[in-house]
Every structure is written in structure tokens, then in C-alpha cells.
Amino acid sequence: MELETIISEPNKYSVNELNAIRTSIENMNKYNQIEILRILHNNDKCVINENKYGIHVNLSDVETVTIDELLTYIKYVNTQESTLHTFEQQKEDFKNIYFMKDNKDNS
């Protein structure tokens, strides 16, 4: 009988980069965290542990391709939030300029 050892190739990301990814995922809202979990769940080799405190994943064991997908999604979410913030600020500016009672009286 021959024993086959499978050595998983570590990903190319440093501990600091993985901590930054973890922090950005923790700061996301629940909907986005569920999408992150779907990305992780699509990887058959990714071990996902769940207990009463939440879901835990060791990112150092996750393949580089999956972490690249996570980074792409994180970038997408950050871009969406930035765009939304810009539009909300623009909307607030228009509201202050055109719909303030004092401005109507001065015209």
C-alpha cells in the first residue's frame, strides 16, 4: 500500500495582507459577508468552520485563486460604496442649493 501525501501549496499572500483582507470582510455588512462566504464555499478545498460565534476560515489555507476572487469582490464593494457616497453627497448638495426655504425667498 502506497501512502500519498498531499502538500497544499501556500498562497502567495503575506500575513499582513491576509489580515487586511480579514479586516475588510469583518467591516462589511451581512449581505456582502454572505457573498464572501459563497465565494469561499465554491472552493472545494476551503475548510469552513462554524460555531455559535460565527463562521471561521483560515485564510492562510485558502488557495491563491480564491483569495484573488475575494480581493476582486472587496474592490467591487468598496467601489460601489464610494460611488454611492458620492451620489448621496451630490444629492445632499442639490437639496441644500435648490430646495432650501431661504434660497426660494431670496430669488
Q: What are 8-31's pLDDT values in tens digits?
A: 566 788 999 999 999 999 999 999
Quote the longest CA-to-CA distance of the chain. Answer: 92
CB 74 within 8 A of CB 82: no
Per-residue pLDDT, averaged over 35-52, amounts to 91
Burial class, 69, CB count within 10 angstroms (exposed 0-12 / middle 13-18 / buried 19+): middle
Distance CA 74, CA 84 (A): 15
Q: What is the pTM of this model?
A: 0.76
β-pairing, 54-57 with 48-51? antiparallel
Provide the 10 A C-beta neighbour count for residue 32: 18
pLDDT at 45: 84
Per-residue pLDDT, averaged over 45-68, amounts to 90
Per-residue pLDDT, averaged over 27-55, amounts to 92
Q: Is the pLDDT of residue 89 over 90?
A: yes
Q: Is the pLDDT of residue 87 over 50?
A: yes
pLDDT confidence tier of residue 104, bands split at 50, 70 and 90: low
Distance CA 55, CA 76 (A): 22
